[in-house]
């Protein structure tokens, strides 16, 4: 039986994701500019850019198929679904029984496949280059993310994200050393999956180094707006997933409406801290060569496996 609080929590989660995702991107851009002693762009700049793109006409490349037209809508829908699955405010979500953490990884993978195929659909050299690099990064990042999920699933005895959060946040305090390895690995994967420094630089337009931007060079108008909005939603989804798995305190338990309302300002606070941390990491690091991405993500996989082994060998009785 779906409760009213569960429906409200699900609606709030989706609405906040749509509203806060561009704001999070703007906040990260501001923090990054401050740390680099530059004049910071307006906090609401992503909203202005989306509004401008939605009012522009769509220009399609010659030879673009229906896949090229449908990809922005599919990618945007996948990111909204991912934000709906992740318990950012409450663990009482109607979609929680229907999709677990493994399905969440599949949703991210589906979006990656569509945007990569759309980039190669037109036949430009830069689009093909970006699509191949995107699939390479995804091929290396997904195993590490799965190992992180398996480590947390062994603690909660379930692959449901809501159950994992419920186990870690609303039971007696237990220190799990395996979470330290899993948390570092998840951070590495988040940088790679969201095209952030050191794997990629979202602010660059150098043809030989960009990954995400190379895939969307042929898009314009509302199609480009949906892709940019989806990129912000992906960053928001990974941020909320990391907060839910490793800092779950404050997420409302069950059908507690007052706790659901109180979780909103706490989520904003945690996202602000996380955005500043992301900007700091990007400021003190330089973008690595694409050929070093396997080393970076291989380290993430190794740390995730170490976390899983620590859970199996040292924490099996906890």
DSSP calls for the chain = ---HHHHHHHHHHHHHHHHHHHHHHHHHHHHHHHHTT-PPPPTTHHHHHHHHHHTSPP-PPTT--HHHHHHHHHHHHHHHHHHHHS-SSBS--TTTTT--HHHHHHHHHHHHHHHHHHHHHS--HHHHHHHHHHHHHHHHHHHHHHHHHHHHHHHHTS--HHHHHHHHHSS-----THHHHHHHHHHHHHHHHTT-TTT--TT---TTT-SHHHHTTT--HHHHHHHHHHHHHHHHHHHHHHHHHH--TTPBPTT-HHHHHHHHHHHHHHHHHHHHHHHHHHHH--PPPGGGHHHHHHHHHHHHHHHHHHHHHTSTT-
Check whether 188 has a pLDDT greater than 90: yes
Question: Backbone dihedral region of 195: left (phi > 0), alpha (psi from -120 to 50 degrees) or beta?
Answer: left
Q: Is the pTM of this model over 0.85?
A: yes
Asked if residue 159 lies in contact with residue 102, where contact means CB atoms within 8 angstroms, the answer is: yes
**24-38, 69-83, 161-175, 261-275: least confidently modelled range:** 161-175
Domain boundaries, the chain: 4-313
Averaged over 154-170, what is the pLDDT? 88
Check whether 274 has a pLDDT greater than 90: yes
Check whether 131 has a pLDDT greater than 70: yes
Check whether 224 has a pLDDT greater than 80: yes
With cut-offs at 50, 70 and 90, classify the pLDDT of residue 243: very high
Comparing CA positions, the residue from 79, 78, 58 lying closest to residue 69 is 58
Check whether 277 has a pLDDT greater than 70: yes
With cut-offs at 50, 70 and 90, classify the pLDDT of residue 207: low
pLDDT at residue number 208 = 66
With cut-offs at 50, 70 and 90, classify the pLDDT of residue 201: confident
Q: What percent of the chain has pLDDT over 90?
A: 68
Check whether 2 has a pLDDT greater than 70: no
Comparing CA positions, the residue from 128, 272, 124, 136 lying closest to residue 199 is 136
How far apart are alpha carbons 61 and 121 in whole angstroms?
A: 10
Comparing CA positions, the residue from 87, 199, 101 lying closest to residue 152 is 101
Count the alpha carbons within 13 Å of 138 in the hemisphere toward its beta carbon: 20
């Amino acid at each position: 039986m779906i409760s009213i609080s569960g429906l409200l929590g699900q609606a709030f989660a989706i609405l906040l994701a749509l509203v806060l995702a561009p704001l999070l991107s703007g906040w990260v851009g501001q923090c990054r500019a401050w740390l680099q002693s530059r004049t910071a762009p307006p906090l609401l700049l992503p909203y202005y850019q989306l509004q401008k793109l939605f009012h522009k006409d769509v220009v399609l490349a010659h030879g673009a198929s229906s896949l090229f037209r449908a990809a922005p809508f599919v990618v945007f829908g996948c990111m909204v679904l991912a934000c709906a699955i992740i318990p950012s405010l409450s663990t009482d979500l109607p979609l929680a029984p229907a999709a677990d953490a493994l399905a969440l990884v599949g949703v991210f993978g589906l979006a990656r496949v569509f945007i990569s195929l759309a980039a190669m659909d037109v036949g430009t050299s830069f689009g093909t280059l970006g699509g191949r690099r995107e699939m390479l990064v995804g091929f290396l990042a997904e195993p590490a993310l799965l190992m992180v999920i398996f480590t947390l699933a062994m603690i909660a005895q379930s692959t449901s994200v809501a159950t994992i959060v419920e186990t870690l946040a609303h039971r007696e305090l237990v220190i799990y050393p395996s979470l330290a390895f899993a948390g570092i690995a998840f951070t590495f994967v988040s940088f790679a999956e969201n095209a952030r420094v050191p794997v990629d630089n979202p602010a660059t337009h150098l043809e030989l180094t960009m990954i995400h931007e190379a895939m969307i060079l042929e898009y314009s108008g509302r199609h480009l707006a949906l892709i940019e909005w989806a990129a912000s939603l992906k960053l928001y989804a990974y941020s909320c997933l990391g907060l839910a798995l490793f800092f779950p305190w404050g997420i409302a338990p069950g059908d507690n409406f007052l706790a659901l309302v109180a979780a909103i300002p706490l989520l904003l606070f945690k996202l602000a801290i996380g955005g500043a941390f992301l900007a700091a990491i990007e400021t003190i690091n330089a973008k690595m060569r694409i050929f070093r991405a396997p080393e970076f993500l291989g380290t993430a996989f190794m740390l995730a496996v170490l976390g899983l082994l620590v859970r199996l060998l040292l924490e099996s009785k906890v």
